[in-house]
Amino acid sequence: ETGVTQSPTHLIKTRGQQVTLRCSSQSGHNTVSWYQQALGQGPQFIFQYYREEENGRGNFPPRFSGLQFPNYSSELNVNALELDDSALYLCASTDWGEGDTQYFGPGTRLTVL
């Protein structure tokens, strides 16, 4: 069902550092979305990329940025990490032909100390 992969699985950083998380979307899916899931909560939308351009952004500060590449891979970059950035980060690729369904990867668990 899902061919979405993410790396790394886990990551530990300290406050103030920068981090890059990676996602590989399902082949043919030209839209990728990133979500942040804090412990005990539902995922919150960070932003979406469509054909390498940002296509919507949630309520996250500019230190959260992204890139999408032609080979269906994408990155989430977070600068100046804060303790509250500790969360599970999920990427999802969209199948516009089937219920506009977003298929999620396994996530990256980021811990900020």
Q: Is 106 in the site for other proteins (CB under 8 A)?
A: yes
Q: For residue 106, is the peptide bond before it cis, meaning its omega torsion is within 30 degrees of 0?
A: no
The DSSP code for 84 is G
Q: Does residue 48 touch other proteins according to CB under 8 A? A: yes
Question: Does 35 sit near other proteins (CB under 8 A)?
Answer: yes
39, 42, 53, 71: residue in contact with other proteins (rule CB under 8 A): 42
Residue of 108, 99, 30 lying closest to 69 (CA atoms):
30
Identify whether the C-beta of residue 2 lies closer than 8 Å to the C-beta of residue 104.
yes
Please report, as ranges, the residues that interact with other proteins according to CB under 8 A: 1-2, 4, 6, 33, 35, 40-45, 48, 50, 55-56, 58, 90, 92, 99-107, 109
